[in-house]
Chain A
Amino acid sequence: MKKEKFGCRISHSEPGPGDGGRTGSWRVKRPVIDLEKCIPAKTKKAACFTCWLFCPDGVITKTIPPTIDYEYCKGCEICAQECPVGAITMVEETVFITEEK
């Protein structure tokens, strides 16, 4: 079969950040981790990582402290809802736009 432009004939995606496009542009609220409350950040131990487990976009790192890739974080708020100690707050994006200006 001739394969003109694209090798793949179907829609297909593999796990990893960015396979749904630049999902960061969808975000209305940004999750911000409070390192004073976050368990691994506070204890310096590889513990919890509930946010990493639940993030549907795979954009939270399993590191001490965890970090979020805002290029692809779509702002769904699941991490904030799941964090057992309430370390993640959702901040309006407009706040950051004003800051950048």
Chain B
Amino acid sequence: MHIIESGNVAAANGVKLANVKVIAAYPITPQTPLTEKLSEFVDAGEMDAQYIPVESEHSALSVCIAASSTGSRAFTATSANGLLYMNEQLHWAAGARLPIVMCVVNRGIGSPWTVWNDHQDAISQRDTGWIQLYCCDHQQIIDTVIQAFYLAETVSVPVMVCYDGYILSHTYMPFEIPKQADVDKFLPSFKPEYALNPNQPANLNTVTLPDVRPDVRGDMAPGYMEIRHNLHADMRDAIDVVGDIDKKFNQIFGRGENPYIETYRCDAAEFVAVCLGSLSYHLRDVVDILREEGIPVGVAGLRLYRPFPDQAIRDMLADLKGVIVFEKALSYGNQGALFADIKAALYSSKNRPKVHNYILGLGGREIKTAHLVDALRNSCVDTDKVGDTPVWIGLKM
């Protein structure tokens, strides 16, 4: 069934179709309509789930951690400072290997207060051990939420599904709601890897010592370093799992085939603009204009940010003349986080391209197509003109 609705409603429908059993969330703009929709579903009996109201985001994720630890499929959602308030529990959920799924409706973080969109919230949490997926439109939001549970539960790593506040969360777009029977065929039921079991009482996530130690049966149990190593190793393996899940999804629903990077006019391109989220669709217009001018440029939107799909990045960008990274976030005192990641991925390539960095749209600052055209043209016409430091677009000073 196709409907015209907001991105938040698309996400809520994905959660409903995924048969989530426990939802705990604290409302925060621009995530609020998503949680409101979910509470409506539960109240109307359309979802067989527990909706647990909490007094904070820290508690929201704590409830999800507890629910997931008993083997229930759990979901939460937040934005901006709400995500930051979860920070301690984000690390905990990842280390405890709990496959919680969370929508992060991207918003700039305070101070100063802003309710508008940028990516600083999710980017600042990139090293928590969560998988991060980014969406460009409403269809991707609902599809990605469903896939996220599959992914999280396959690798026992929690997943953030990130989408732009307002630009996607509050705008209306047509999208297809998959059939429940198809989703049930796609998404296996949740069999937790690590859950509390009254028949075998245990403490989960107990204190570790610097070294490994024998457990109660005399077998060697992993220490802190082994557990952290395995989280990293499983995150790296998750890159292939994302590809496999995309294939299966494509077979059933006929959508997908771009699990890592979604490209537009990258055929015979010498320059490619790279970004996260809905900005990549905005950049399609920009690329169309520059292609008219004869500039061989395309755009690539990253769908997977953590784990970082560096091989796919190299395959796509290693032999270009220029890569131009547009970012709505910044590693303060250094450069754009995505910019640094892209450069690191390309460093070992022989003919590595010039890489430029533009910072834009912070706190919802309007992103004008004309500004994007100028910036991208500048970077393509003379690759030496723009240096290695980030250039700010739309800054009024």
Contacts and interface: CB of A to CB of B under 8 A. Distances in A.
B230 A9 contact: yes
B111 interface: no
Contacts of A6: 220-222, 226, 230
B367 to A, nearest CB: 40
A18 B214 contact: yes
Contacts of B222: 5-6, 8-9, 11
A18 B218 CA distance: 8
B202 A14 contact: yes
B234 A9 contact: yes
26 contacts: A1-B156, A1-B237, A5-B222, A5-B226, A6-B222, A6-B230, A9-B97, A9-B193, A10-B96, A10-B204, A11-B204, A11-B205, A11-B221, A12-B202, A12-B204, A12-B206, A12-B215, A13-B216, A14-B201, A14-B203, A15-B201, A18-B214, A18-B218, A19-B215, A20-B213, A21-B209
Nearest to A17: B216
Contacts of A4: 230, 233
Interface range on chain A (Cβ under 8 Å from partner): 10 to 19
Contacts of A19: 215-216
A12 B194 contact: yes
B61 to A, nearest CB: 17
Given A1-B234, A5-B226, A10 B205 contact: yes
Contacts of A20: 207, 213
B70 interface: no
Contacts of B213: 20-21
A10 B205 CA distance: 6
B227 interface: yes
Given A4-B230, A10-B95, A18-B214, 17 more contacts: A1-B155, A1-B156, A6-B220, A8-B221, A10-B194, A10-B205, A11-B224, A12-B206, A12-B215, A12-B221, A13-B202, A13-B215, A13-B216, A14-B201, A14-B202, A17-B216, A21-B209
Contact of B205 (A2, A5, A12, A21): A12
Contacts of A8: 194, 221-222
Contacts of A21: 209, 213-214
Contacts of B193: 9
B200 interface: yes
Interface of A: 1-2, 4-6, 8-21
B97 A16 contact: no
A15 B216 contact: yes
Interface string B86-122: 0000000001110000000000000000000000000
Q: Which 9 A-B pairs have the closest CB atoms?
A: A16-B216, A21-B213, A6-B222, A19-B216, A13-B206, A14-B202, A13-B203, A14-B216, A11-B208
Interface string B228-259: 00110110010000000000000000000000
A5 B207 CA distance: 20
A14 B215 contact: yes
Interface of B: 95-97, 154-156, 193-194, 200-209, 213-216, 218, 220-222, 224, 226-227, 230-231, 233-234, 237
Nearest to A3: B230
A18 to B, nearest CB: 6
Contacts of A1: 154-156, 234, 237
Contacts of A12: 194, 202-206, 215, 221
A7 B155 CA distance: 14
A73 B185 CA distance: 53
Nearest to B215: A19
A73 B217 CA distance: 17
A13 B221 CA distance: 9
Nearest to A5: B226
A55 B200 CA distance: 21
A5 B205 CA distance: 18
Nearest to A19: B216
Nearest to B224: A11
A9 B194 contact: yes
A16 B200 CA distance: 12
Nearest to B200: A14
Contacts of A15: 201-202, 216
Nearest to B98: A10
Contacts of B214: 18, 21
A10 to B, nearest CB: 5
